[in-house]
Structure 1
Amino acid sequence: MTMEAPPSSAPMPKAPVRLLIAGAGARGSAYARLAADTGLAVVVGIAEPRGPLRETLAAELGVPAAGVFEDWQAMLRTRLPADGIIIATPDREHGRPFAAAAAHGYPVLLEKPIAPDPAGCAELARLQQESGIRATVCHVLRYTPLTGLLRQLLSAGAVGRIISVQHLEPVGFWHFAHSYVRGNWRREAGSSPFLLAKCTHDVDWLSFIIGSRPVRVSSFGRLSHFRPEEAPEGASGRCTDCPAEPRCPYSALRIYGPGRPPDGAAADPARAYFADVVDPGGTRESLWQALETGPYGRCVYGGGNDVVDHQVVNIEYDDGTTAAFTATAFTAAGPRRTRIFGSHGEISVEAGTVSVHDFLTGTSTAYAVPAAVSTVAGEKHEGGDRGLVQAWVNALAAGDWSGVVSGLAESLVSHAVVFAAEEARRRGSVVAVEEFSPAR
């Protein structure tokens, strides 16, 4: 199992790393800010079709007008001198900017998923191989303080050999309603299956922690609740005029309102983030207008979504280890929860604590996960965003890539697991991961 390398001690060049940003939505903006926050990088080009997002980020990061574009094609045609590019375009629009970046020889930091289908993944693998560029995928869970602590404990033999793992992704009822019922990922045809859009992180993380190659999967899941027949009596098509709104936990007013409270009241930080997705940089009044007219004010039972709202995936690994992964909308949003069962002990990960029980001594030891404080707008994933971007920028600056642990090759394995799991769910059978490997 490859251990994380310490930050490189190689001297950093005096000139900052120059970066291009293709896609200045929530993820692209967060990565751009984090890159600038390292003190080792400067953003020299931004491409984003939405004017307010584009102009706000450019002003914040001091990008000159000559480096601000409405689309990535125009940005790359200018051949701006750059040392790397962050691609955070929509899920189905990664291939063409990746191909153009590869043609220019830019190292790429690519938001997941790589592509929405096996053919798209295979094409990006081919482009990387032929161009020889460095391609890093944003599997941010590999870079969290929790992951570092867990891998240290496991490497030291805290539980002996890993036998099986239980892992829960508690998406959160309101987060799911925002992203997968009302938001950009509500329909597979327009984005990707729920498991690919949301849980590639988790599938990838399990392989990273277990340290063995996944070989077979089974899966079950469906869209159970967010359907027209589940709507409460009297529900209308939009939350702003719905008689059932006061008794609906999925009310858009209830979800977004705390992010834009009345004057003088403190905003809920998490809800403020999502309110800004609905109505970037607006007011309480403009948020209400957005809910009256836009997609985020629609009834969750209106039938405009088709992705599953709960799914389980069972994975068998090459060394005999098994993992059971559950992703569900029907939780309070919170940190992922994991239990690792070993030959000589058990690890429980919950609420910021890693507890290790030793079978021999009968004792339990609790380890506090190092706190990760978000200091940049849009930063998420318990320090994983920051760890990823820091590792990538360090690699660009110093030429030492040992701290980057989420290359395209590793991510292709995780994507193959997800594609196999979706096939298993639809087919009702056990599916070999190799069937979806680009190397076949």
Structure 2
Amino acid sequence: MSSDYPNKIVTAVIVGAGNRGQIYASFAKVHPQKFKVVAVADPRKFARALIQKEYNLQNNHVFEDFQDILKLDKLADCVVIATPDTLHKEPAVGFANKGYNVLLEKPMAVTEEDCKAICAACKKNNVILAVGHVLRYFPPFQKIKELIDSGIIGEVVNIQLHEPVGWFHFAHSYVRGNWNREDNSTFVLMAKCCHDIDLLVWWLGDQRCTKISSFGSLFHFRKDKKPEGASSRCLDCSVEGDCAYSAKKVYLERVKQGMTGWPVSIICEEPSIKSVTKALKEGPYGRCVYDSDNDVCDNQVVNLEFAGGQTASFSMVAFTEKVCERQVKIFGTKGELTYNGSGPVYRFDFNSKEISVHSAAPSTINAGQLSGHGGADYYLIDSFVCAVAENDTSKVLTGPDVSLRSHLLVFRAEQARQENRVIFPQDHH
């Protein structure tokens, strides 16, 4: 899946130098002959300085505000936008209007209007838009797509996709963290699962969805579930030892074991026992999960029917041992496919009654920070950089039209949940 492309170094501006921005920027370390970071914009001094040092940027190419870059002549071939979800539209539209190709972290935006505006700007200015739906680039899911398209299981009738978020991951990101409230970010189906709905659309060959329903709730992380005697903060809680969601266990124990990567790296700039303890005393990540201000669902199911009569279901749940290791069952007229969250894809053939094993391309070696999502982070930016180098949109699996279509289904699914009814997406064009 890795690409060889012309003798051209693609230059990039990084807008948003947090976790995802750093990951995509690191492609320049893996392939300095293909990709070069030439500027950064981030309101946080520490984040800016990190990118500046890592990529040897001049002071006049380091900015607090991306708007200052837009006032200049075009600095690079492309922009990587990894700002908070609610802050995607302005940079995406602004850089598209200046002729930059755009790699935009998912979700595209948190309103339908903003998603449509981003797609329109990229198409109007004839620039490449790649949305960070990394799951399309995940080798086992590419293998599933290949097997479906080969006809080996006949016509697909039903797909079941399950995302186990992981008990501590959900508490970190969606109870204490950046995505814990709809008004500060977006609803959890968009923040966490928009690329799962995108997978269903992709596997079904972009079939039109005709009906969608959804159910979900904030079941557990609520004040009425708070254990008796629990404090509002884990560091001074008398029952913390019996709590699976204890911030001491999630963060401090990791630091003591020398584990300073995610999720510890998110809560303070330079993780140490002292800095993490301070963050837990004063910041949101030390709060009791039953005494926070979160309001997003901790479990949700989505049901879809497509124009050809196919059906699909997606479920997301917080309370799992596995962390984001999605399980898949695909039922066809001649056989079925199974993926258990790791390892190969299995096919059962109805005629021969035999099971065959289909291994995916290995995760790319030596990808450093880009090894996330089973190497899909690497394959996503590799395809984008290749597309920019060759000016070939076919290299990108997550362009404006397909990404907009699946985002609109996510909005419809959440509408169905809130209004407690079946939604007919064709009524919303």
Where on the TM-score scale, by shorter chain, does this alignment land: which range? over 0.9
Residue 413 (str. 1) matches residue 408 (str. 2): no
Deviates more, 1:279-288 or 1:403-412: 279-288
Compute the displacement of 1:82 (Å): 0.7
Give runs of aligned pairs for residues 394-413 of structure 1, distance below 5 A: 394-413=386-405
Deviates more, 1:206-215 or 1:284-293: 206-215
- Which ranges in structure 1 are unaligned for 5 or more consecutive residues? 1-5
- What do residues 111-149 of structure 1 show as CA deviations (whole Å, max 9, x unaligned)? 111111112222223323332222111111111111221
Q: Distance in 2 between matches of 1:362 and 1:260?
A: 50
One-letter amino acid of the counterpart of residue 427, structure 1: E
Residue 186 (str. 1) matches residue 180 (str. 2): yes
One-letter amino acid of the counterpart of residue 385, structure 1: D
For 1:61, the equivalent position in structure 2 comes to 55
SS in 2 for 1:402: helix
For 2:367, the equivalent position in structure 1 comes to 375
Aligned partners of 1:23 and 1:48 also within 8 Å: yes
The one of 239, 242, 245 equivalent to 2:237 is 242
For 1:340, the equivalent position in structure 2 comes to 330
Q: Distance in 1 between matches of 2:107 and 2:246?
A: 29
Residue 312 (str. 1) matches residue 316 (str. 2): no
Residue 126 (str. 1) matches residue 120 (str. 2): yes
- What do residues 333-373 of structure 1 show as CA deviations (whole Å, max 9, x unaligned)? 33100000010101110132211100000111123334325
Q: Distance in 2 between matches of 1:399 and 1:276?
A: 36
- What do residues 295-337 of structure 1 show as CA deviations (whole Å, max 9, x unaligned)? 1111111140000100000011222211110001011133100
Aligned partners of 2:161 and 2:314 also within 8 Å: yes
Q: Distance in 2 between matches of 1:242 and 1:185?
A: 25
Aligned partners of 1:374 and 1:383 also within 8 Å: no
Deviates more, 1:161-170 or 1:29-38: 29-38
Compute the displacement of 1:61 (Å): 1.9
The one of 362, 367, 390 equivalent to 2:353 is 362
The one of 15, 31, 34 equivalent to 2:24 is 31
Residue 326 (str. 1) matches residue 315 (str. 2): yes
The one of 224, 227, 251 equivalent to 1:229 is 224
For 1:151, the equivalent position in structure 2 comes to 145
- What do residues 188-214 of structure 1 show as CA deviations (whole Å, max 9, x unaligned)? 011000000000010001111121222
SS in 1 for 2:269: coil
Compute the displacement of 1:401 (Å): 2.8
Deviates more, 1:54-63 or 1:287-296: 54-63
Aligned partners of 2:42 and 2:48 also within 8 Å: yes
Q: Distance in 2 between matches of 1:50 and 1:302?
A: 28
Aligned partners of 2:128 and 2:388 also within 8 Å: no
Q: Distance in 2 between matches of 1:30 and 1:7?
A: 17
One-letter amino acid of the counterpart of residue 31, structure 2: T
One-letter amino acid of the counterpart of residue 425, structure 1: R
The one of 243, 247, 251 equivalent to 2:246 is 251
One-letter amino acid of the counterpart of residue 271, structure 2: G
The one of 5, 10, 17 equivalent to 1:17 is 10
Structure 1 residues 100 and 35, CA, compared in 2 at 3 Å: closer, same or farther?
A: same
- What do residues 76-103 of structure 1 show as CA deviations (whole Å, max 9, x unaligned)? 2233521000111111111111121122
Compute the displacement of 1:259 (Å): 3.0
Residue 352 (str. 1) matches residue 343 (str. 2): yes
Q: Distance in 1 between matches of 2:157 and 2:334?
A: 10
For 1:3, the equivalent position in structure 2 comes to none
SS in 1 for 2:261: helix
Q: Distance in 1 between matches of 2:314 and 2:209?
A: 13
- What do residues 375-426 of structure 1 show as CA deviations (whole Å, max 9, x unaligned)? 3236421111111100001111122332211001111111111111011101
Runs of at least 4 residues of structure 1 off by over 4 A?
A: 6-10
For 1:86, the equivalent position in structure 2 comes to 80
Q: Distance in 1 between matches of 2:240 and 2:399?
A: 45
For 1:291, the equivalent position in structure 2 comes to 280
Aligned length: 424
Q: Distance in 2 between matches of 1:148 and 1:415?
A: 20
For 2:261, the equivalent position in structure 1 comes to 272
Q: Distance in 2 between matches of 1:44 and 1:356?
A: 46
Aligned partners of 1:169 and 1:337 also within 8 Å: yes
SS in 1 for 2:301: strand
Q: Distance in 2 between matches of 1:317 and 1:12?
A: 44
Aligned partners of 1:110 and 1:138 also within 8 Å: yes
The one of 417, 422, 426 equivalent to 1:430 is 422
Q: Distance in 2 between matches of 1:159 and 1:354?
A: 13
One-letter amino acid of the counterpart of residue 371, structure 1: P
